[in-house]
Amino acid sequence: MSEHLDDALLTAIADRFGTPTYVYDLDRMGRRLAALQAALPGAVILYAVKANPNGAVLRSLASSGAGAEVITVGELERAARAGVAPERILVGGPAQDPVLVARAAALGAGLVSLDSPGQWRDWSGRETAARFLVRVNPGLDPHTHEHLATGAPDSKFGLAPGPALALARAVAAWGKLAGFHVHAGSMIRDLTVYDAVFDVLEPLYRALPGLSLLDLGGGFAVPDFPLERFAERAGELAGRLGVSLVIEPGRFLTAAAGTLLTRLVRVKEGGPRTHAIADAGMADLLRPALYGARHAVRALGAPGSGTDANVEAVAGAAKGAEASGTPVDVDGPLCENADRLARDAGLAVPAPGTLLAIAEAGAYGFAMASNYASSLRPAEVAVEHGRFRLVRRRERAEDLWRLEDPEPDAGP
């Protein structure tokens, strides 16, 4: 079975709902979750809601056994609304403001990751069913983009091993300590990073015997994370320590299952680069501008078409364009030079109206979309068992000012 949605189906979605539109393959997400469950039997899998918070995605993953990792009240409410059982929700993040703490305690969230002693002071005075993890900053180079290096020494996340152990002892004295939590970074491919993390964690567990959980976070690289080798190493450590594993995958489950559909509006030739201006840009997909991320781009055929013949023709023309040495960039519509979806996209010089598919857009795509320049956020469509449905409508102009200038008696 192909791991990619059929071009004809994507074209039909674009024709029905317009562009830009995000498309999520829920079946593919389910297969990714099943692969994790098979590789790490017995592990507690908590989906990192920030990757893609759409309700259809949350409901699909929850129905297949995933819990949720949340960092805001909005994510907490989304998870609960999607049917995630409270005891399978972990509250994390470096802030945990009073509203989040109060709501999570009232809801009965099962796990809390403590990022600082200040968070513990806020939680320790409350009646709560939660058990607690202490987040450790391993102080290492996770071999990833600096914005994704959450386990680096100067990161804002977690505590160095010494202070982490001191906080853990305080939590243990209250009878609420479940274990430790590390999230070394995102888009990690190099398993030696985890070897270094394990070297930091093992002495902490030896100092506090009898703990039950080890949370290794997420951050698995897409598309080529060595899952089986990671599972073997992590499982061996968990066995030595006598604990169950917790993992928090986000991107790993959703990235490759998402496609951003966009149409070209203008094509500018005559300079050192050809600029193909699309109707999607950094307001829709921020990752290229924020992280320098590269997303594969392919043309789905001539405007209003999606036949194999048109796709083959576009691919053949692309080879000719590459041979000529003319680079084609796919750029967004905004007045920002960072508003580029793909440099050197490997496309032929395409015509306005050409439909493009931006790959691996199921994580941190719509979740980071904004109304910058009064852009209207795109539609979202879910595909399941070969059928598609709208799961979030495209914003309209009136949505931009709907929350502005409330009535004096409308409250905050």
Task: For residues 271 and 215, state if they share a domain.
Answer: no
Task: For residues 326 and 374, state if they share a domain.
Answer: yes
**Residue 301's pLDDT is what?**
66
Task: For residues 212 and 242, state if they share a domain.
Answer: yes
pTM of the predicted model over 0.85? yes
Domain that holds residue 330: 255-395
CATH of the domain at 332: 2.40.37.10
Please tell me the distance from the alpha carbon of residue 159 to that of residue 6, in angstroms, as a whole number: 47
**pLDDT at 305 > cutoff 60:** no
Residue whose token pair is 């024709």: 15
Task: For residues 344 and 314, state if they share a domain.
Answer: yes
Task: For residues 114 and 231, state if they share a domain.
Answer: yes
Q: Is residue 42 part of a domain?
A: yes
* Average pLDDT across the chain, whole number: 88
CATH of the domain at 218: 3.20.20.10
Task: For residues 348 and 321, state if they share a domain.
Answer: yes
Cis peptide bond upstream of 20, omega within 30:
yes
Q: Mean pLDDT throughout 348-357?
A: 91
Last residue of a domain, one of 226, 253, 280: 253
Question: What does the pLDDT look like over 394-406, one tens digit per residue?
Answer: 999 999 999 997 7
Q: What is the DSSP string of 362-410?
A: SSSSGGG---GGGPPPPEEEEEETTEEEEEEPPP-HHHHSTTSS--TTS
3 state SS of 158: coil
Q: Is residue 5 part of a domain?
A: no
**Residue 252's pLDDT is what?**
94
Selected catalytic residue, list 335, 397, 403, 410: 335
Lowest mean pLDDT among 83-87, 181-185, 384-388, 393-397: 181-185
Task: For residues 87 and 208, state if they share a domain.
Answer: yes
Active site residue 335: yes
**Residue 408's pLDDT is what?**
65
Last residue of a domain, one of 253, 282, 309: 253
Vertex 371: Cα angle to 367 and 377 (nearest 5): 60
List the structure tokens of 106: 């009232």
Phi, then psi, of 134 in degrees rounded to 5: -110, 125
**Residue 307's pLDDT is what?**
38
Of residues 2, 60, 44, the one with CA closest to residue 362:
60
Of residues 143, 213, 214, the one with CA closest to residue 185:
143
Q: Are 201 and 233 a contacting pair, CB within 8 Å?
A: no
Q: Is residue 7 part of a domain?
A: no
Task: For residues 78 and 177, state if they share a domain.
Answer: yes
Q: Over pLDDT 90: what percentage of the chain?
A: 74
Question: What does the pLDDT look like over 110-167, one tens digit per residue?
Answer: 999 999 999 999 999 888 999 999 999 886 654 444 444 444 456 677 899 999 999 9
Other beta carbons within 10 Å of 340: 18
Q: Is residue 77 part of a domain?
A: yes
Q: Is residue 332 part of a domain?
A: yes
Q: Is residue 412 part of a domain?
A: no
Of residues 95, 70, 99, the one with CA closest to residue 82:
70
The CA-based dihedral angle spanning residues 11, 16, 19, 23, taken in that order and rounded to the nearest 10 degrees: -70
State the total domains in the chain: 2
Task: For residues 236 and 282, state if they share a domain.
Answer: no
Please tell me the distance from the alpha carbon of residue 327 to that of residue 212, in angstroms, as a whole number: 54
Of residues 212, 326, 228, the one with CA closest to residue 269:
326
Residues contacting 294, CB < 8 A, separation 6+? 288, 342
Question: What does the pLDDT look like over 157-216, one tens digit per residue?
Answer: 789 999 999 999 999 999 999 999 998 776 777 788 888 889 899 999 999 999 999 999
Q: Are 322 and 339 a contacting pair, CB within 8 Å?
A: no
Last residue of a domain, one of 231, 253, 275: 253
Q: Mean pLDDT throughout 266-273?
A: 90
**Residue 218's pLDDT is what?**
87
Other beta carbons within 10 Å of 346: 15
**pLDDT at 257 > cutoff 70:** yes
Q: Is residue 19 part of a domain?
A: no
List the structure tokens of 406: 């409330």
Of residues 200, 193, 127, the one with CA closest to residue 161:
200
Q: Is residue 322 part of a domain?
A: yes
3 state SS of 220: strand
Task: For residues 326 and 265, state if they share a domain.
Answer: yes
Which has the higher per-residue pLDDT, 350 or 373? 373
Tally of helices (H runs) and strands (E runs) in the chain? 13, 17
Task: For residues 151 and 281, state if they share a domain.
Answer: no
Which pLDDT band holds residue 58 (cuts at 50, 70, 90)? very high
Task: For residues 242 and 270, state if they share a domain.
Answer: no
